[in-house]
Amino acid sequence: MPDQAISPPTSVDQTPAVSVEGLYKSFGPNAILKNVSLRVEQAELTVIVGPSGCGKTTFLRCLNGLETFDEGRIEVAGISLDLHRSDRERGSDVQARIHELRLCAGMVFQSFNLFPHLTVVENVMKAPQVVKGMPTDQARVLALELLEKVGLKEKADLHPVQLSGGQQQRVAIARSLAMQPAVMLYDEPTSALDPALVDEVLGVMRALDDEGMTQIVVTHEMRFARQVADRIVVFHGGEIIESGPPDVIFSAPKDERTRHFLKAYL
């Protein structure tokens, strides 16, 4: 009887969801990001913390092309923007890749930025219709599915002004998810909310984490960071000064600047 061929084991995709190398960004003479490098694995929930003005938000905005950077390389879901290359001045190529980055990296801001004249479901439908040309019926089905995911399907036909701040932020998350991004980015998503409304937004982010969504969160919500994050990344003065699992960062940080920052929250 001939030997049976044995199939090799299926390899696990080790490609990171986000890879950043040597990122520099300045505004005039002020250096905001200084040689920042970071790797975020697929399905990882990474929380970025640090004092105000340390470059956290600028870094996040660079990841989806809302800010250009001076030097370095960003890759998100296989889409790369490399300003180490000799052809970096080719503006059309850079703009095309920035557009691609925006499609694969959803962004949720401090302010909700919903269209006040549109209903909740119309807000969620808008981007797939305009950017992807999705038919109205299909966009509505998708929007309702996402509103159900964030617990707001029954609010679909209301206008944003009729919602609480926490509900509006959950609509903003659904709107970003409607573009089916590979990575979700959040810039202080609960900072504009009353404390009583914070947990409903964080609950949506926990649920997305359970589903395997890659998420990068800039926040001062240390309880959320400690309980949910796979990794904490600490920024200071435009640099990453340390990173690690929450139990290490909160219990035994290596850098004195991290210890000083955490004292204000613990």
Residue 3 has pLDDT above 50, yes or no: no
29-63 pLDDT, tens per residue?
A: 999 999 999 999 999 999 999 999 999 999 999 99
What pLDDT score was predicted for residue 205?
A: 95
Q: How far apart are CA 218 and CA 156, in angstroms?
A: 28
What pLDDT score was predicted for residue 92?
A: 63
175-189 pLDDT, tens per residue?
A: 999 999 999 999 999
Can you tell me the mean pLDDT for 229-251?
97
What pLDDT score was predicted for residue 7?
A: 40
Can you tell me the mean pLDDT for 127-145?
97
What confidence tier does 84 reach under pLDDT thresholds 50, 70, 90? Answer: low
Class of CATH domain 18-263? alpha beta
What pLDDT score was predicted for residue 38?
A: 98
What pLDDT score was predicted for residue 265?
A: 77
What pLDDT score was predicted for residue 4?
A: 39
Residue 85 has pLDDT above 50, yes or no: yes
Residue 77 has pLDDT above 60, yes or no: yes
Share of the chain above pLDDT 70, in %: 91
